[in-house]
Amino acid sequence: MEQYSKRLDGVFQALADPTRRAVLGQLNKGPASISELAKPFGMALPSFMKHIRLLEESGWIQTRKVGRVRTCSLEKNAFMAANAWLSEQRTLWEARFDRLDALVEGRNDE
């Protein structure tokens, strides 16, 4: 459970930054080189690479180097982990809201 929790922490930590979310949005259109991804942000390449490393370490992207060009692409595993956790939470909260509705309306569904 602890390893699952650490992995999930990394998945959501990567989403906490607007630059990283924008990179994921750009990669939704298809693989791109790091220089293409960095262009709209106007930051030094070493600073941008910190975002790329965090996205890669958390499982959101995969990078591949061919010659001098490093290309990034999306990975499905981080999406699946985030979606699984969110689905569990949704199920839990929907059940709680259903019980609250029943209580407010004076029903006894249990």
Tens digits of residue pLDDT in 48-78: 999 999 999 999 999 999 999 999 999 988 8
| Residue of higher predicted confidence among 62 and 3 | 62
**What mean pLDDT comes out for the span 67-96?**
86
pTM: 0.74
**What mean pLDDT comes out for the span 28-45?**
94
Write down the pLDDT at residue 63: 96
Helix (H) or strand (E) holding 4: helix 2-15
**Cα distance between residue 50 and residue 40, in whole Å:** 16
Q: Per-residue confidence at 10, pLDDT binned at 50, 70, 90?
A: confident
DSSP for 30-76, written as a single string = --EEHHHHHGGG---HHHHHHHHHHHHHTTSEEEEEETTEEEEEE-H
| CA 54 to centroid of chain Cα atoms | 11
Write down the pLDDT at residue 1: 46
Write down the pLDDT at residue 2: 52
The torsion of the CA quartet 40, 16, 7, 81, rounded to 10 degrees, works out to -80
Amino acid at 56: E
